[in-house]
Amino acid sequence: MESGSGGCRRLRKTESAEMRWVVPGGACEEDEIESSDDGGTDTPAAASGSRGGGGSDDDDGGYEEDEMLRQRLVRTGPRADSFDVEALDVPGVYRHQEFTIGRSIVLTLQTLGVVFGDVGTSPLYTFDVMFNKYPITTKEDVLGALSLVIYTLILIPFLKYTMIVLWGNDDGEGGTFALYSLICRNAKASLLPNQLPSDTRISSFNLKVPSVELERSLKIKERLETSSMLKKLLLMLVLFGTSMVIADGVVTPAMSVMSAVNGLKVGISSVNEGEVVMITVAFLIVLFSLQRFGTSKVGLAVGPALFIWFCCLAGIGIYNIRIYGSQVLHAFNPLYIYYYFERNPTQAWMSLGGCLLCATGLEAMFADLCYFSVRSVQLTFVFLVLPCLLLGYLGQAAFLMENLTQSQQVFFLSIPSQAFWPVVFIATLAALIASRAMTTAIFSTIKQATALGCFPRLKIIHTSRKFMGQIYIPVMNWFLLVSCLAFVTVFGSINEIGNAYGIAELGVMMMTTVLVTIIMLLIWQVNIIVVLCFLTLFLGLELFFFSSVLGSVADGSWVLLVFAAVLYLVMYIWNYGTKLKYETEVKQKLSMDLLMQLGCNLGTVRAPGIGLVYNELVRGVPAIFGQFLTTLPAMHSMIIFVCIKWVPVPVVPQNERFLFRRVCPKNYHMFRCIARYELSFS
């Protein structure tokens, strides 16, 4: 709070859709008057906010003076309730920081270790799944499949996610819920009960120059705000996308680790499928046990290992191109995709599900954005990850063109014999890192879902005091481990797991496309032609891929769909219960007029002591307090209504933890306290 004229403690001005009353030209224009409801008649009450201290007023006029001041109150422009603003804004805590060159290098290594592990290990299994059901017969088939992989990498990971979707973050937070939160703050389209007037402070509608795009966005905004059906549909889409993200987090470790362990079958002929499953289970247990050490520590430790892995991909690719010929470079001509579908339409269509696996881990890249900056993720992908991936696939295709019958374990077969075992070791390590990428993304998603009342509140541990997004959720970690082990033992093959993998990935991709389209119209206010091109290109492409993976549902992918459906029901029911509970508290809260009629003794005996009444209301007196008055023989001389707010910071400074305000006139001795805690306390 800042010092204002006349010694009055003034609150920061924050725009809101609400109107409030102030004293015209007075020394304390920013003092607040609490009302019995959010939009009803104002009831005078002494109100003063303070940080970490008491709730006493600065002037001694008390309630009688406030009554006189009411006669001179006038309407002013829109402004948020200052207590709402202070409840969520913690001064001195910053999400983004400026980095030195040395810190940027460290951040790049951490970005590799946390964000790109999943997409980086896709060469281990992409061609294996593509050619599983229909083996290749000609070199032209290899070129067609390779061209399909190349342009899938360019269109979806590079163009869609890296260049467009990453900018749809919500104050540095990525993922499905971040997109939903961003939409709701700009259009009030949320059905969730935890929106505050201060959420509108980032709205930029009133700052735009009048244009066709602005008019369109305002119409969409009005339609979202007035249509309960659209609000429900939007929430259902978000919950569906989130359930698919969690399902993706179960399949990713199983697929990545098992595909790496499969390399043992190439180097040691006596290793069978059962032994591969047992080794995979052991690796997964170790992996999830190390998750608790935090993103910064583990990300920095495994970042160099993943850098070596990308160098191996590029090196092996260049080696194979040099040994087997550069004819594979012709695959950059997209006509080979057309020829591929013309020669073998059924085979090409069935291979789409495997081709999509080259773009896995994109939702992890977006959801893990809270750990790093947009620029660091973009630069790392464009200048390191994408070139190494392309070289890796080109090298495998060059090997395949000269060895058409060896369409399984392509990556390991294409490794030079002298470097086989070192590369197998690095590949296994990279697969473990890839599993971490999706797990950390799920932690971020669960944190966002919890904050929006769509998931049960779990213990969240902040693993870094510098970066608020780096968290660990123990319960979710062990739940993912158990689910992952179940998938490995039930499926037991990367080909069957790959089918389920594609369904999970596409479910998330399609939801992201729809939400980003809404953001382009509503918030970014992009030209309608550009929006239609984005929606038509990417949603059409993803639906085309989805038609392919649906054909494998009967092979076992239905298990993943059932798993996602159960998660969806849990989140939907929890959201419904949270919303119902909050609405009930709001409807049943006591009228301030009733408290005024009862007098300062509240119609009972005031005994010495302090009484704490917990509730979730930032404004108003909860109904449970009325039951206390009619049931208890006496009431404490001082009453404090306590509201706990969970704020997304690693540490709340002690002097910023508690906010106090007087609820009634001084002689009532009633206050409201907002206690702010970091999510690690939950």
> Secondary structure of 230-265 in the HEC alphabet?
HHHHHHHHHHHHHHHHHHHHHHHHHHHHHHHHCHHH
Taking only the tens place, the pLDDT of each residue in 273-315 is: 888 899 999 999 988 888 777 555 555 566 788 889 999 999 9
Question: Tokens at residue 383, please?
Answer: 């200048």
Average the pLDDT over 413-423 and give the result: 92
Task: Say whether pLDDT at 116 is over 80.
Answer: yes
In Å, what is the CA distance from 361 to each residue of 161, 354, 410, 435, 441? 11, 14, 21, 10, 10
Least Cα distance to 88 among 168, 184, 200 occurs for: 200
Least Cα distance to 563 among 118, 248, 236 occurs for: 248
Task: Say whether pLDDT at 386 is over 90.
Answer: yes
Average the pLDDT over 484-494 and give the result: 85
Task: Say whether pLDDT at 453 is over 70.
Answer: yes
Beta bridge partners, 2, equal 10
Least Cα distance to 260 among 118, 111, 441 occurs for: 118
Average the pLDDT over 528-538 and give the result: 94
Least Cα distance to 567 among 474, 471, 454 occurs for: 454
> Rounded to an integer, what distance in angstroms lies between the CA atom of residue 447 and that of residue 336?
44
pLDDT of residue 152: 95
Name, in order, each residue with C-beta under 8 angstroms of 59's C-beta and a sequence gap of 6 or more: 28, 65
Higher-scoring residue by pLDDT: 543, 195 = 543
Task: Say whether pLDDT at 469 is over 80.
Answer: no
- For the chain, the residue count is 682
CA atoms within 13 A on the CB side of 573: 6
pLDDT band at 13; cut points 50, 70, 90: very low
Average the pLDDT over 430-453 and give the result: 80
Helix (H) or strand (E) holding 295: helix 295-324
Window from 101-115, 506-520, 610-624, 632-646 with minimum mean pLDDT: 101-115
Query: Phi, psi at residue 75, to the nearest 5°?
Result: -75, 145
Are 340 and 145 in contact, with CB atoms under 8 Å apart?
yes
Environment class of 237 (CB within 10 Å of its CB; exposed 0-12, middle 13-18, buried 19+) = middle
pLDDT of residue 408: 82
Name, in order, each residue with C-beta under 8 angstroms of 401's C-beta and a sequence gap of 6 or more: 139, 142, 143, 324, 325, 327, 328
Beta bridge partners, 638, equal 610
pLDDT of residue 536: 95
The CATH code of domain 115-189+215-453+460-578 reads 1.20.1740.10
Q: Under DSSP, is residue 42 helix (H, G, I), strand (E, B) or coil?
A: strand
In Å, what is the CA distance from 73 to each residue of 30, 34, 60, 68, 145? 12, 14, 20, 10, 73
Say how many C-beta atoms besides its own lie within 10 A of residue 62's C-beta: 13
Name the segment(s) of the chain with CATH classification 1.20.1740.10. Answer: 115-189+215-453+460-578
Name, in order, each residue with C-beta under 8 angstroms of 282's C-beta and a sequence gap of 6 or more: none
